[in-house]
Amino acid sequence: MSQPAGKRTVIGASPPRIEGREKVTGAATYVDDMQFGPSLLHGALKRSPIAHGRIVRIDASRARALPGVRVVVTGEDFPGLTGLYLKDRRIFALDRVRSVGEAVAGVAADTPEIAAQALDLIEVEYEELPGVFDPEYGASPEAPIIHPELASYEVVPFVFPQPGTNISNWFKVRKGDMAQGWAEADLVYEHKYRVPHVQHVPLETHVCVAQQNVNGKITLWSSSQSPFAQRNLIAKALHIDHSRLRVITPYVGGGFGSKAGVSMEGAAVALAMHAKGRPVKLRMTREEEFHTTFVRQGLVAILKMGMTKDGRITAMHNRFYWDGGASTEYGVNITRAAGYSGTGPYYVPNIHVDSYCVYTNHPVGGAMRGFGMPEIHFGIEQHIDEMAHRLGLDPVEVRLKNCLKDGDETLTGMPMHPTGLSECIRKAAAAINWGQETVSYSSTKRHGKGLAAMWKAPAMPPNPGSSALVRLNEDGTATVSIGGVDIGQGALTAMAQFAAEGIGIRVEDVRVNTVDTDYSPYEWQTVASRLTWSMGNAVLRAADAARTQVLQAVAEAWDEDISDLDIVDGQVISYRSEESIPLKNICIDGVQRKDGTFVGGPVVAQGRFMPDYVTPLDPETGQGPRAVVHFTTGCQAVEVEVDTETGEVQVLKIVSAYDVGKAINPELVRTQMEGGAVQGLSTALLEGLILDHGVPRNPNFTDYRIATAVDAPLETENIIVEVPQDDGPFGARGVGEHPMVPTAPAIANAIYNAVGVRLDSMPLTSEKVWAALQNNDI
């Protein structure tokens, strides 16, 4: 779990390469030259080859002297701390390194080859320190302290670091009487589950270009889910005015949470500040993407549950040890989300939850699709299945008995809003013919069925804001400006639908802009499956305000009551007089009154939305009137075929049923369900970052497998349930992350149903299944 201290190492070259670094192709360089000109510089980062150690000395003199090198910077040039919830991270390491791959210096050079050569010329001397590579050990008093300065870090008020330890957040839930809960139970069962680190593997790696002009204005072109958060965090870390930093986000080539917040973008800005006006491009290689940008945190979950013989849950005591990595600036909120969701979507009267975010010397953990929910549900949903089997009960009926219904109190004391969870469970089970055995035609292959329920709230601060602008153009079309990013989830399409519906024009007549922080209205981040709900509310309010401007002007000009007017398919109509006029005739020039004067003018409207009803939770009990804005709930049911000779698992069918409030675009909702299920299958059966004392052993697509068309289920069925959300636009709430949450436990339960082996660690590889079968004599 730890390694000896005191070893000194002088590093002249970059960290040992597990696989050769990718080369920038000539075609890519040509495109860059076309957009930014021949002055484009290429950035690269010198990275730590050790997991934990003090920086004794950095000598960059030889790199600075290399012809073609224009900039070399280190932590001494930019010592400021950054972080979304906990400021514990530097752009370049200053006094110590805490993970393999942490940046210690940056260079910008005329070509990628010169930049790579310059990295080899930077000498770094380290004094190695003991490492922490397991979160349970990291949380213990025996573990070496990774962040001795934890007490001095700036932190948001709803995160609770434990100075003098490696615990950067401890979220607690205390409810009911645990002794009574255990006494009422006919069965008490405790077990440990493990989930590994997972990489998001977007097809487009992290990439950005930064440039500072002669007036000191810096522009960052960034493939980002968080343009405004990037501007805020980088500006604060580099001590520059927000008005001096502009972030432009074009279309993003995949995110899944990896491009939320800041990972390497600050380094590009730092290099550009010393590049004398030349643009600097920084692009992560695939190897760097695997372990130097955000990864999904690992988890050790110890679950204890009590249940009566008729299947009623009486108590839960759950402990979550999150492997947060070298920095937990984002991961502390994953820990919090796991805490207030720590029972799964069930009513439990007696609850004790401890969710710990633990510093380790692993890669930095951050947001990934599901934000902690796939990890905790992997254990919770298997645990419920196992207890049902031990009591001779139907797992579906146990879930229906205990799942949250309208008005039930959640573990934090919040009344559950109207939810279609029971309907989701019933429909998913029916779609795989639950209770009917499927017979295999092979003597070595067995079929099994499994099911798992889920819930997830938008994990965010209590007051994240959204805003939108709507402008009507001379031809009656509308331009919508937003601060959210389309990362493939269809955000721009949904916002166009909201604007069209709100104004009264065709969706084809709406254009939604991509993000430029100098001109786009504010949006907190594109995370938490919140854009349809939060940004949708802002767009709908802006569209309604634009519509009102038009109708007020027409009402005055025509001397009519505004309640008698409407806009339908771009025509302003009067239900009283039956007059009409094309919107395009009046949305810029206004409407002529009877006396020949005009009223109205260019239509520009704004809308904003911020939840103002989320309440704080007691730090000792986790109790409060409203912990979150809402929960999206759902269920997945799967059918698998297991080869008893090889352990190979083939997923035959996945059924997804989710309560989305209102499906704004049903086809987009179904594609989110299908894509999330396949990504969930991939992490369930194939994915896991192999770390050997902090060193990644599979940072490539040869050794880190992701699901392809060959692995996808033979059949998918996607069921939309609609129980409206009171504060959602048209009753809608998000569903982007949720289909990935229950897939792994549903598959694990199906494997158990097929061959009687219970796997408590991911991924559920054929090797693990085969080994378990040998022990079971199947």
Residue 737 is among the residues annotated as catalytic for this protein: yes
Here the tokens at position 128 are: 């190695």
Strand partners, 128: 53
Which among 272, 214, 248 has a CA at the least distance from the CA of 91?
272
Under 8 Å between Cβ of 61 and 118: no
Under 8 Å between Cβ of 704 and 637: no
Q: Side-chain half-sphere of 331: how many Cα atoms within 13 Å? A: 35
- The span from the CA of 110 to the CA of 304, in Å, is 59
DSSP state at residue 414: P
What would the DSSP string read from start to end of 684-714?
Answer: HHT----EETTEES--STTTS----TTTS-S
Residue 493 φ/ψ, nearest 5 degrees:
-65, -45
- The span from the CA of 631 to the CA of 346, in Å, is 12
The order of strands in the sheet holding 350-359 is: 167-175, 350-359, 313-325, 298-307, 187-195
- The span from the CA of 702 to the CA of 565, in Å, is 63
SS3 162: coil
Query: Looking at 113, 386, 737, 767, which residue is catalytic?
Result: 737
Measured at the CA of 235, the angle between CA 233 and CA 239, to 5 degrees, comes to 120
The single-letter code of the amino acid at 730 is F
Here the tokens at position 534 are: 């939060």
656-688 b/e (C-beta count within 10 Å ≥ 16 → b): bbbbbbbbbbeebbbbbbbbbbbbbbbbbbbbb
The distance in angstroms from the start CA to the end CA of the chain is 35
DSSP state at residue 761: B
Place of tokens 């006494």: 183
- The span from the CA of 151 to the CA of 148, in Å, is 8
- The span from the CA of 346 to the CA of 633, in Å, is 11
What radius of gyration do the chain's Cα atoms show?
28
- The span from the CA of 509 to the CA of 664, in Å, is 18
Catalytic residues, which ones?
Answer: 737
